[in-house]
Structure 1
Amino acid sequence: LELAEGGRQHVDGRTALALVRSRHPEQLMDGQWVPAQVDPDGRASAAGQVMDALVDQVQGSVTRPWRLQRVAWAVTGALTVDDGTSAAELASLATLDVGPVSVLPVGAPVDGTLLRFPSPETRAALTAAGMTCGG
């Protein structure tokens, strides 16, 4: 993934996926590629930004059926639904007010692994959303 400049970008699906999957981002500084500052939650934040943009794109297509059809064809291979899900139920998803995607806080990595346990902030965020977590 190589973006010519910083800031908000309009990218295709393949590039958005590359952004979400980026594990070792680099930035061009003074003509050289150098590792970007490590953000443990950077991938989750990037995924949230991509999901927000996708939701905006779908909701903006509701009144333009030709655009909605393009979006539907684009996600067909990546979307799985229950056998009993009707086309009307899928269409109703486009009008849901899902709000922004949030990245929940979690505890520090355990022994240098990817394992993290819920922090008090995680539990508070889940409780505020009407959910609970075990452990």
Structure 2
Amino acid sequence: MTAPGDLVRRHRVLSRLVGLVALLALVTAVALGVYDGRFADAVLRMPTGEGPTTWLILGLDDRTQQAEGTDIGDQDGSRDAAANADVILVATRSDGQWHLTSVRRDVRYPIGSGLSGRLGLAWRDDPQVLVDQTCLTLNIPADHVVAVNLRAFVELVDALGGIDISVRHDMRDERAALDITAGPHHVDGRTALAYVRSRQGRVLIDGAWVDDPEGQNGRARRAGEVFGAVAARLRSRPGDWPGIGWRIAPDIRLDTRTRLWQMAVLVGAADAGVRELPLTESPDGFYSEVDQETRSYTAGIGYTQTCRL
């Protein structure tokens, strides 16, 4: 089955995955008045290739850096998820237009001896591998890398005084620490994150608790809803941007070639529609694999030459 590559509607879906749904709004905040030295460095070698300037934006599920008392919920019941890239977003600008592409974290890449790896797990073992395989496997060379962990998202929403969401059905997901009723809610950062992250949730329909019938589409819809709510709050409170940026900067890593002022260009991407990179599910359902539709898509946004390390 090939994943849909159609432009998402007004929900502005960022991805099927975790709290990086707010990243474009987040970088808007950090693009003002925050010292470069406040950010952590990611020492990376960037590939070369023809195509537009590319920002590789990652959402990290990094429990090793979780602050004491800041429980952001577990997806797998453990606390050893050290910096998996749960969200992979590619931002490019060509012909005066921004393109935002969500990449599944389960993209297959070869690791030798007939074995395969999953793209989202590569950051945990070696961030350079993720950058390299985005080039080699997807033919997308990164010029800039921005990595944000989940705590930054929680703190961003809390610094904004929470956001408003509208829940379609009562929802429960113990692993995502989510238990919320249907209807409008004003939620804090932890609840907003759980609402987006839930992947094993159950919903109350016609008096019965059932597996969420929307599946990944529901996750994507909720991600878009939260992104829109965060972006709207940021736009309405520009005076808070410097303080928010200072607060969340330690939870953001930039590659050593990227300076803070360069991130300001991403402000223009905040209203762009997001497409999901077309991929084919592997026969065992464990991976997503590159196919001809993938190549056609990447060529269509400017990657017409082979990416090189």
TM-score above 0.5: yes
Residue in 2 that maps onto 1:95: 267
User: Going by fraction, where is helix more abundant, 1 or 2?
Assistant: 1
The 3-state SS of whatever aligns with 2:224 is: helix
Partners of 1:58 and 1:94 within 8 A in 2: no
1:30 equivalenced with 2:203 (yes/no): no
Question: Structure 1's 85 and 119: CA in aligned 2 closer, same or farther, altered over 3 A?
Answer: closer
CA–CA distance in structure 2, aligned partners of residues 126 and 101 of structure 1: 14
Structure 2, gaps ≥5 residues long: 1-177
When normalised by structure 2's length, the TM-score is: 0.33
State the partner residue of 1:49: 224
CA deviations on 1:1-32 (whole Å, 9 max, x unpaired) are: 233226x8654332232233222121112333
Bigger RCO of structures 1 and 2 (CA < 8 A, at least 6 apart) = 2
Taking the TM superposition and a 5 Å limit, the aligned residue runs for 1:41-120 are 43=219, 45=220, 49=224, 52-53=227-228, 56-57=231-232, 60=235, 64-66=238-240, 68-73=241-246, 75-83=248-256, 85-90=258-263, 92-93=264-265, 95-98=267-270, 99-113=272-286, 115-120=287-292
Distance 1:104 1:120 in 2: 12
Could you tell me whether the CA contact under 8 Å between 1:59 and 1:94 is conserved in 2? no
State the percentage of identical aligned residues. Answer: 29
> C-alpha root-mean-square deviation of aligned residues, in Å?
3.7
> What are the superposed Cα offsets for residues 57-86 of structure 1, whole Å, 9 maximum, x if unpaired?
47615x7222x1354255334311245655
1:42 and 1:96 map into 2 onto residues whose CA distance is 26
How big is the shift at 1:33? 1.8
Between the two proteins, the alignment pairs up a number of residues equal to: 128
Cα distance in 2, alignment partners of residues 87 and 4 from structure 1 = 40
Instruction: Quickly say closer, same or farther: Cα 1:85–1:47, change in 2 above 3 A.
Output: farther
Matched with 2:196 is 20
The answer on whether the counterparts of 1:51 and 1:101 sit within 8 Å (CA) in structure 2 is no
Secondary structure of 1:80 counterpart: strand
| CA contact 2:196–2:226 (8 Å) conserved in 1 | no
The residue identity in structure 2 corresponding to 1:78 is: D
* TM-score, normalised by the number of residues in structure 1: 0.63
Which range moved further: 104-113 or 10-19? 10-19
Maintained 8 Å contact 1:27/1:33:
yes
2:295 maps to what in 1? 123
Deviation of the 1:101 alpha carbon: 2.8
Q: Kindly indicate whether the alpha-carbon contact (under 8 Å) linking 1:48 and 1:101 is maintained by their aligned counterparts in 2.
A: no
Instruction: Considering fraction of residues, name the structure with more strand.
Output: 2
- Specify the code of the residue in structure 2 equivalent to 1:34: V
Q: Deviations over 1:68-113 (max 9, x none)?
A: 13542553343112456555444x2463334133222221243132
1:2 aligns with 2:179: yes
What is the distance in 2 between the residues matched to 1:75 and 1:50?
22
- Counterpart AA for 1:64: P
Give the superposition deviation at 1:124: 2.2
